[in-house]
A and B are shown apart, each in its own frame.
Chain A
Amino acid sequence: MRRATLSTLLTLAALLAPLAPSTVEAQCLPTSERDAFVAELAAAMRASDLTLPELYDHAANRLGYGWRGDDRSGRSVDALANAIADRLRGAAARPTGIDEALATMPDPGRGDLPAELQYPFRAADMTMAESLEETRRYQDAARGAQGTPNEREASRRRAISMNDHRAIGGVVTFNQAVRRPNLDVGTVLREFWFNHFNVSGRDVPWAIADYQRAIRRAQCSTFRELLLASGRHPAMLTYLNQRRSRAGQINENYARELLELHTFGDDRFLYYTQRDIVGVAEILTGWTVTGTTGATLDPRFLFRGSLHDRSAQDLFGAAPRGVRFTLPTGAAGALEERPEALIAYLAGHVATRRNICGKLAMRLLGARPAAVVNACAADDVWGEEGDLGAVYRSILTSEEMWSAARYGTRAKSPLELIVSARRAVDAPDVGTPAGIRLGLGFTASLGQPLGMVAPPTGYHDVPANWIGASSLVLWNQHVFEHIGTSRVDMVVGPSTARETLRGGALDRWVADRLARFTGAELTAERDRLTGRFLLELGLPRDAAMRLGHTRTALARPDVTKSGGLARPARSVIHAILTNSRFLRK
């Protein structure tokens, strides 16, 4: 059978892209605010003690997944501030071309399967209806095949289909992090919000990809709208069972997490009580999923008034710091407004503001300074509903964000670690099923199974959860087994005869350079070469990165062979990527 090649599909996608309907998502940075934001951001950077390369490195790690490419021309504080503004402006837009390319990536090992199953990442570009249609069909075929000769094959196909859809959340996240341009604020925020409003691909395989897209679309609107986008999405309605909650038979799961995790972030019952959880669950009855049966599927949110508990509510007044919220008995024709009123109350609550501003500050600047959190939570930034664009801008323009005290102080997450290394060396296997599975396997082995975290807490953004002796061993093992020098280019030679070297040629060039020196001159040459590699990898040439085992990598006995240095370029790159400084952001 002839197959469409990836490049053909990409070309076609690029041709069709201009015809696609314009996006309607809100802007994190309205045109009217751009100049003021850039000026404020540049001022905060200029007030920093960080050097220009350090500012770029800091931005690449905190507002992206590490630097990729060696373009250092035109660098300045103003250029950096403008680049961040551009990224922030498009933060809610779905990246073009990346998911489509992923969906058309065949797995050569699946030749015996039906055509659609030969593309393991096809769900990256499926609608929720298409995803539900496929998983439902294979599920039904396997359930009904019992006792027939088809049974074993039907079960196998069902398992493969289900696994592909379950994994797609992590696959998309990893692939976007690796392949997107530098300073990808949109993907960082989407990863943050998806983790905040976590659902697991294990529970909602058919909805996970669409849920991630819905989160991104809403991440530049208001927090109230983001709460609704999450809570009313079929993925969340299913994951926490809200879709089956009804008057006389409530399910508290979503109500509990809405208060404990999504809004107040309060697990000490300062702002609510157990009775309030029941009351919130009663108000939310009627939120359910429809469109999952029939010939044409269209899974979506539906408010079913017949399932709604109309009883009057008087909530939160009994908690130590609770702020009372009341609702009269529901009147016919206005029932759907009751849960929406509750969501609006929660979005404007002081505990919600502090929780969200604190978590965002931790993600973006690596700490929760009171001044930053208070400024973000204030009325002139948060507003009534949580103006998310203003919230992000408030944190990004704080002097704390660019303080030298925040630079290189926080351990990278497993995702940030493996992606930043692969971006630095432009690893050749990132665009293959094997490379993607390798990345997902690594993050999962360090406690961050992307898109598959089971609890509603998501993964805890606490380095102690993944940095330990065993994780460092795993990282070293990963670097030495999977990261080479085949894509690290270095321009060498006199200005009249420059050439670009990589792989074995680069190793020989480094060995020749070192062979010319001895003693103190050799040490100085090692330092110079290490600096060159750091430059090529887009990393700052600070002392922490140059000294220690990075510096000595070029003289380690285990790289000598027959009296000469074997693969010294590879050795120094490995030393850099396993340097404790590289593990921090």
Chain B
Amino acid sequence: MLAALCAAMAGCAYEAASEPEPADFDPAQEAAAIERSRTDRAARAEDAVEDWLEAHPEDAPLREELVAWEREQLVVDDLSEGSFSAVRYGFGREQ
């Protein structure tokens, strides 16, 4: 909603794409870094599903669905560092 409000206003801070960056911060490098992270995440999802299918070959027909699901979960994993659950339950309680 804030973005919508700002879009209707001249000079709104949220519209300020021209905000000067610090001299040593390169937006092109930032875009490349984001791309690297996402490529890496896609590869990790493929690897995780391959590991699962080795133990559960009956799920092979679901491969594409599992890769998509794994990619979605990895985004959340990456944003939930230090999850409480690992502390409370330890490794033994998660099966």
Interface residues of A in 137-167 (CB under 8 A from B): 137, 139-145, 148-150, 153-154, 162
A455 near B88 with CB under 8 A, answer yes
Interface residues of B in 41-90 (CB under 8 A from A): 56, 62, 65-66, 68-69, 71-73, 75-76, 78-80, 82-85, 87-89
A139 near B94 with CB under 8 A, answer no
What's the nearest-Cβ distance from chain A to residue B84, in Å? 5
Interface residues of A in 386-422 (CB under 8 A from B): none
| A248→B68 CA distance, assembly (Å) | 19
| A125→B2 CA distance, assembly (Å) | 7
B85 near A206 with CB under 8 A, answer no
What's the nearest-Cβ distance from chain A to residue B92, in Å? 11
**What residue in chain A is nearest B72 (Cβ atoms)?**
A292
B residues less than 8 Å from A16 (CB atoms): 5
A144 near B33 with CB under 8 A, answer yes
B residues less than 8 Å from A304 (CB atoms): 65, 69
A243 near B71 with CB under 8 A, answer no
| A2→B35 CA distance, assembly (Å) | 32
Beyond A100-B1, A119-B13, whether A241 also contacts B85 by CB under 8 A is yes
Interface residues of A in 74-106 (CB under 8 A from B): 100, 103-104, 106
Beyond A238-B80, A251-B95, A292-B76, whether A140 also contacts B37 by CB under 8 A is yes
Decide yes or no whether A114 CB sits under 8 A from chain B: yes
- Tell which of B40, B62, B73 touches A244, judged by Cβ atoms closer than 8 Å: B73
What's the nearest-Cβ distance from chain A to residue B23, in Å? 10
B residues less than 8 Å from A455 (CB atoms): 84, 88
Decide yes or no whether A569 CB sits under 8 A from chain B: no
B75 near A293 with CB under 8 A, answer yes
B residues less than 8 Å from A141 (CB atoms): 30, 33-34, 37
Decide yes or no whether A497 CB sits under 8 A from chain B: no
| A113→B56 CA distance, assembly (Å) | 48
B residues less than 8 Å from A244 (CB atoms): 73
Interface residues of A in 319-346 (CB under 8 A from B): none
A122 near B2 with CB under 8 A, answer yes
Stretch at the interface among A6-14, A308-316, A437-445, A541-549: A6-14
Stretch at the interface among A283-291, A347-355, A476-484: A283-291
**What residue in chain A is nearest B28 (Cβ atoms)?**
A150
Stretch at the interface among A31-39, A173-181, A197-205, A367-375: A197-205
B residues less than 8 Å from A9 (CB atoms): 5, 9
What's the nearest-Cβ distance from chain B to residue A511, in Å? 47
B residues less than 8 Å from A228 (CB atoms): none
Binary interface encoding of chain A residues 246-272 relative to chain B, with 1 for a CB under 8 A from any of its CBs, else 0: 001111110000000000000000000
**What residue in chain B is nearest A234 (Cβ atoms)?**
B76
A289 near B76 with CB under 8 A, answer yes
| A153→B6 CA distance, assembly (Å) | 27
B8 near A145 with CB under 8 A, answer no
Beyond A115-B19, A250-B95, A290-B72, whether A202 also contacts B84 by CB under 8 A is yes
A150 near B38 with CB under 8 A, answer no
B33 near A154 with CB under 8 A, answer yes
Decide yes or no whether A116 CB sits under 8 A from chain B: yes
Which of the listed residues B6, B16, B69 has the most CB atoms from chain A within 10 Å of its own CB? B69
Decide yes or no whether A522 CB sits under 8 A from chain B: no
- Tell which of A140, A144, A153, A291 touches B22, judged by Cβ atoms closer than 8 Å: A153
Decide yes or no whether A239 CB sits under 8 A from chain B: yes
A-B contact count (CB 8 A): 168
A145 near B33 with CB under 8 A, answer yes
A residues less than 8 Å from B73 (CB atoms): 243-244, 288-289, 292
A251 near B94 with CB under 8 A, answer yes
**What residue in chain B is nearest A147 (Cβ atoms)?**
B33
What's the nearest-Cβ distance from chain B to residue A238, in Å? 5
B residues less than 8 Å from A249 (CB atoms): 95
B9 near A144 with CB under 8 A, answer no
B2 near A100 with CB under 8 A, answer yes
A residues less than 8 Å from B62 (CB atoms): 306
Interface residues of A in 110-133 (CB under 8 A from B): 112, 114-116, 118-119, 122, 125-126, 130, 132
What's the nearest-Cβ distance from chain B to residue A310, in Å? 14
Beyond A125-B1, A241-B85, A253-B93, whether A144 also contacts B35 by CB under 8 A is yes
Binary interface encoding of chain B residues 1-25 relative to chain A, with 1 for a CB under 8 A from any of its CBs, else 0: 1110110111111101011011011
- Tell which of B19, B69, B85 touches A253, judged by Cβ atoms closer than 8 Å: B85
A residues less than 8 Å from B68 (CB atoms): 293
What's the nearest-Cβ distance from chain B to residue A285, in Å? 12
Decide yes or no whether A464 CB sits under 8 A from chain B: no
Decide yes or no whether A454 CB sits under 8 A from chain B: yes
- Tell which of A143, A252, A307 touches B93, judged by Cβ atoms closer than 8 Å: A252
Beyond A114-B19, A249-B95, A253-B89, whether A3 also contacts B1 by CB under 8 A is no
Beyond A103-B2, A122-B2, A203-B84, whether A1 also contacts B11 by CB under 8 A is yes
What's the nearest-Cβ distance from chain A to residue B93, in Å? 6
B72 near A140 with CB under 8 A, answer no
| A142→B40 CA distance, assembly (Å) | 13
Supply 12 A–B pairs (Cβ within 8 Å), ascending by A. Answer: A12-B8, A139-B78, A140-B37, A141-B34, A144-B35, A150-B26, A203-B84, A238-B76, A239-B85, A249-B95, A250-B95, A454-B87
* Residues of A near any B CB (own CB < 8 A): 1-4, 8-9, 12-13, 16, 100, 103-104, 106, 112, 114-116, 118-119, 122, 125-126, 130, 132, 135-137, 139-145, 148-150, 153-154, 162, 200, 202-206, 234, 238-241, 243-244, 248-253, 288-293, 304, 306-307, 454-456
Given contacts A143-B33, A304-B65, 19 further A-B contacts (CB under 8 A): A3-B13, A114-B19, A115-B13, A136-B78, A140-B33, A144-B35, A150-B25, A150-B30, A153-B24, A203-B83, A205-B79, A238-B80, A239-B84, A241-B85, A250-B95, A251-B95, A253-B88, A292-B76, A293-B71
Q: Which 4 A-B pairs have the closest CB atoms?
A: A144-B33, A2-B11, A144-B36, A140-B37
